[in-house]
Amino acid sequence: MGSKPVPDASEIFPVSIATASGSRVEAVLQWPIFKGQFCVEEILAPVFADSHEDDDDDDEREGWQERKGMGKSEPENGYQAQHEIATLVQRFFRNVHTKNPILDSAVLDSYVYDIEKHGFGWSGKSCLVLLVCALGSVSAPYNPHPSSLSVTEPPTKYPSFEISAQYFSAAKKRLGIVMSSNKLIAVQCLFLAGIYHMYTMNQFAAWKMFNAASVSCEGYLHRKEKSKASDTASSMFSSWSNEPTRHLEQRIYWSCLKSELELCSQLDTSHSGLNELDYPHAFPSPPREISTSVAFQSSTSFFEQPRSAQILSPHTSATTAPPLPEDRQEDELTWFYYLAEIALRKVELRMSEIFAISPPAHSSCSSTSATPAGLEEPRRPIKTEDLLSSANEFELQLNLWYSCLPHVLKFPLDSRDPCHDERLQYLRQRYWWIVSMLYRPFLYHLIHHPTPPQALATRMTVYARKGLEIDANFILSNVITHRHHGAWLTIRAVTGNSLVLGAAKIAGMMMPAGWRDAITAARNCLVYWESEVRDAGALRKVVEAVEREI
């Protein structure tokens, strides 16, 4: 049996796709165009540093003092008046919960009612309410034009780091008790603790919380499976739970999964393995009052996207129906956003399976030695033509995703202005980021190998120019002053995009309109956050060094 013909070297993409994609700032800084002038190991070092190295004794003493007062109705001084808990819960649902709807508002209200009557205890319920209050007091409404006063938020004492820290300090003293249980509320508490650390720019602690939440989520699902082993229809995903609980489980699973993976991808850390669970629900189920709405029913094609860009009818106009109450409209938009983001991440995950498999051309994959028994055959270098075909396929899938979006989620693609709604803003940013990763290998190729095979040059140039345009749009549309769950991830994405623009300029490529303004905006973003974000100072120096070169 003859071996397959070895492709000509000019047909092979010159480096690994993972290197060329440059999804992390550190990867872009290792591009040859920068001549090794940056020490990438130093950038993330502050993120992993312990900011409380000398506080262990104080923490232990404070914890012991509070434990001695466990019988008291309120565990420590400094809390806001009890009636203000309701205000903080409301702020949480408006500012935080809209991006990850992992709580049942009616259930949380019952917890708040008990606490207002009896005070905070040491249960998971108290821990959850304390975390909600911490997030409610540190978050702020989205304002697409931060230079002007928000019309939706009258002046208040919130956001307040001091008040938020008081609530979180009390919550984390209960977190150890909650972690030892195998209940859904433990997963919720750990996940919200991770969200809090993302808001307060402590990414290492957030990674540990998201990892623990994901492990706890899997443990909870396995407990369900084992406890119903006698049921012939049993599995960890059976209908054993009642419908509201089952829907909540699905939402918690997806929130843990996506939050952990996106943070791991930037910290370059391992993940819990929750993504390897054979989870059968393609999408979490919304509450019945949302799933039965006219708008939701008319958008089913959007939530049934295929694995390939086959013909699928785009979303059509919904049947005319009476307008929903404002709170129902908000709930519906939250659910559309949540499911749309999951659908987009599914495309991203399929894309990553293709765009991160090619080893460097000088790797051992060209060896003729036999593959050891039980091991996969080493992956061969990928042909540029095949990579272009894959890019075209994923471009069609992403276009399909956008065409199927419900009308309320249709963000503008041709504008650099921030979106009017926070959910649309983040959805567009995620879309642009994924499309940028799709085009970036071809941009890398043209920066470092400016004379590709003639038959491929036109298509590669088109993709590279699209990528540069999107990189500039991503930066210029960013609201740099808004604190949210993904603020640190956005800061790093903005930085990476600015470095790619700088690399293209150094290489003499045709630049998109506003490219220099975009690099300046990225530097300004890093200056704004430098006093709080641990790696922002190092990233600012890198961007400034590239600015001097161009």
pLDDT, tens digit, 9 for 90 and up, residues 511-542: 999 999 999 999 999 999 999 999 999 999 99
Query: Residue 64: its pLDDT value, please?
Result: 35
Query: Residue 263: its pLDDT value, please?
Result: 95
What one-letter code names the amino acid at 32? Answer: P
Give the three-class secondary structure for 423: helix
Q: What is the mean pLDDT of residues 481-488?
A: 94
Of residues 131 and 332, more confidently modeled: 131
Query: Residue 455: its pLDDT value, please?
Result: 86
Spatial distance between the Cα atoms of 375 and 499, rounded to a whole number of angstroms: 38
> What is the largest distance, in Å, between two alpha-carbon atoms of the chain?
80
Are both 142 and 254 inside the same structural domain?
yes
Query: Residue 231: its pLDDT value, please?
Result: 52
What one-letter code names the amino acid at 256? Answer: C
Spatial distance between the Cα atoms of 349 and 355, rounded to a whole number of angstroms: 10
pLDDT at 208 over 80: yes
Q: What is the mean pLDDT of residues 235-239?
A: 49
Give the three-class secondary structure for 198: helix
Query: Residue 354: its pLDDT value, please?
Result: 74
Domain count, the chain: 2
Are both 87 and 182 inside the same structural domain?
yes
| Residue 507 pLDDT class (50, 70, 90 cuts) | very high
Give the three-class secondary structure for 270: coil
Q: Per the domain annotation, does 55 fall within a domain?
A: no
Are both 429 and 514 inside the same structural domain?
yes
Q: Is the dihedral of CA 146, 148, 152, 157 positive or negative?
A: positive
pLDDT at 228 over 80: no
| Secondary-structure percent of the chain, ordered helix, strand, coil, rounded to 5 | 60, 0, 40
Q: Per the domain annotation, does 238 fall within a domain?
A: no
Q: What is the mean pLDDT of residues 186-193?
A: 98
Are both 93 and 25 inside the same structural domain?
no
Q: Per the domain annotation, does 485 fall within a domain?
A: yes
pLDDT digits (tens, 9 = 90+) for 168-179: 999 999 999 998
Are both 178 and 270 inside the same structural domain?
yes
Burial class (CB in 10 A: 0-12, 13-18, 19+), 475: buried
Are both 29 and 105 inside the same structural domain?
no
Query: Residue 352: its pLDDT value, please?
Result: 82
Are both 213 and 97 inside the same structural domain?
yes
Are both 280 and 336 inside the same structural domain?
no
* pLDDT mean across residues, the chain: 81
pLDDT digits (tens, 9 = 90+) for 106-145: 999 999 999 988 889 999 999 999 999 999 999 999 988 8
The answer to whether 29 touches 499, Cβ cutoff 8 Å, is yes
Query: Residue 454: its pLDDT value, please?
Result: 86
Q: Per the domain annotation, does 422 fall within a domain?
A: yes
Write down the residue that tokens 């939701």 correspond to. 296
Q: Per the domain annotation, does 267 fall within a domain?
A: yes
pLDDT digits (tens, 9 = 90+) for 429-452: 999 999 999 999 999 999 998 888
Query: Residue 53: its pLDDT value, please?
Result: 46
Are both 159 and 91 inside the same structural domain?
yes
Q: Per the domain annotation, does 348 fall within a domain?
A: yes
Q: Per the domain annotation, does 72 fall within a domain?
A: no
The domain in which residue 464 lies consists of 8-38+332-355+382-549
Spatial distance between the Cα atoms of 304 and 187, rounded to a whole number of angstroms: 28
Query: Residue 284: its pLDDT value, please?
Result: 73
pLDDT digits (tens, 9 = 90+) for 94-105: 999 999 999 999
What one-letter code names the amino acid at 245? Answer: T
- Domain end position, chosen among 255, 270, 285: 285
Closest of 482, 474, 479 to residue 437, by C-alpha = 474
Give the three-class secondary structure for 383: strand
Query: Residue 326: its pLDDT value, please?
Result: 63
Spatial distance between the Cα atoms of 83 and 288, rounded to a whole number of angstroms: 31
Are both 104 and 223 inside the same structural domain?
yes
pLDDT at 369 over 70: no
**Which one of 41-55, 140-154, 513-527 scores highest in mean pLDDT?**
513-527
Are both 14 and 126 inside the same structural domain?
no
Are both 93 and 30 inside the same structural domain?
no
Q: Per the domain annotation, does 70 fall within a domain?
A: no
**Which one of 281-285, 351-355, 414-418 scores highest in mean pLDDT?**
414-418
Spatial distance between the Cα atoms of 261 and 269, rounded to a whole number of angstroms: 9
101 cis-preceded (ω within 30 degrees of 0)? no
Query: Residue 305: its pLDDT value, please?
Result: 47
Q: What is the mean pLDDT of residues 217-246?
A: 67
